[in-house]
């Protein structure tokens, strides 16, 4: 019974080569229980050659496989190479036979991809702290010597122009300011001040010569003079 099963054993398309080899070894050991391990290995190898296609059998014999394990390793390597080439050929065939409609769709999506790239570039510039409006640096377009704005003379500027007219409305303020500056540097004996007495409060003491040396009194005197000048 086991011998008939061993001889009729074939390799199914969905079965792996390693599973086929293990099954053949088990069936060989049950079919020939009186034989040694070397005989079991040779019988399993012969049945393995019968189960695979002639091309793989020729590869195993030409390589000199002495056991089922060597034959299985060689067949798996060959199948991986063949399957990889078939996948590459299938992918190339799919690329060559791309419908024209899909090519048109890819071409129409190019402007959208460009817009996305531009947006990413703008975001990158903002993250780096750069402005999207790259304004050119300021360049003074004027050429030649600098001129006075008032009389157009190259010898001086407007602040030193002799023909420049000062506004008359500021004369009073200027005079009052200079008068206040003059009083600031006066000596104590040049100023005299009589502090008005307030009900319930004694006036501050004066100096020996009758002049006021109190800073608050001097400040009040300057304020009164400034009001008179204005």
Domain boundaries, the chain: 2-96, 167-187+213-230
Report the b/e string of 205-216 with b at 16+ CB within 10 A: ebeeeeebeeee
Tokens of 99: 């419908």
Task: HSE, CB side, 13 Å, CA atoms: give it for residue 118.
Answer: 7
Q: Judge whether residue 133 has pLDDT over 70.
A: no
Range with the largest mean pLDDT of 73-87, 126-140, 197-211: 73-87
Pick the CATH number of 2-96 from 1.20.1440, 1.10.1660, 1.10.1740, 1.10.1200: 1.10.1200
Which whole number is the average pLDDT over 149-160? 86
**Does the structure show a pLDDT above 50 at 206?**
no
For residue 195, the model assigns a pLDDT of 52
**81 close to 59: Cβ distance less than 8 angstroms:** no
Structure-block tokens of residue 83: 């399957």
Whether pLDDT at 209 is above 50 = no
The confidence score (pLDDT) of residue 103 equals 46
């Amino acid at each position: 019974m086991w011998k008939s099963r061993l001889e009729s054993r074939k390799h199914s398309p969905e079965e792996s080569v390693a599973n086929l080899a293990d099954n053949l070894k088990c069936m060989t050991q049950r079919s020939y229980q009186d034989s040694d391990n070397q005989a079991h290995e040779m019988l399993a190898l012969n049945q393995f050659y019968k189960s695979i296609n002639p091309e793989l059998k020729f590869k195993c014999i030409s390589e000199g496989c002495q056991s089922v394990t060597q034959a299985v390793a060689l067949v798996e390597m060959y199948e991986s190479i063949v399957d990889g080439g078939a996948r590459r050929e299938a992918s190339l065939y799919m690329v060559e036979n791309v419908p024209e409609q899909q090519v048109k769709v890819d071409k129409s999506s190019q402007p959208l991809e460009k817009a996305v790239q531009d947006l990413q570039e703008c975001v990158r510039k903002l993250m780096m702290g750069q402005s999207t409006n790259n304004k050119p640096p300021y360049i003074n377009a004027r050429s030649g010597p600098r001129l006075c704005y008032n009389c157009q003379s190259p010898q001086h500027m407007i602040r030193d122009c002799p023909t420049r007219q000062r506004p008359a409305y500021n004369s009073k303020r200027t005079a009052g300011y200079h008068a206040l500056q003059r009083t600031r540097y006066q000596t104590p004996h040049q100023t005299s001040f009589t502090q008005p007495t307030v009900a319930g409060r004694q006036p501050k003491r004066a100096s020996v010569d009758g002049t006021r040396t109190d800073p608050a009194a001097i400040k009040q005197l300057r304020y009164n003079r400034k009001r008179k000048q204005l």
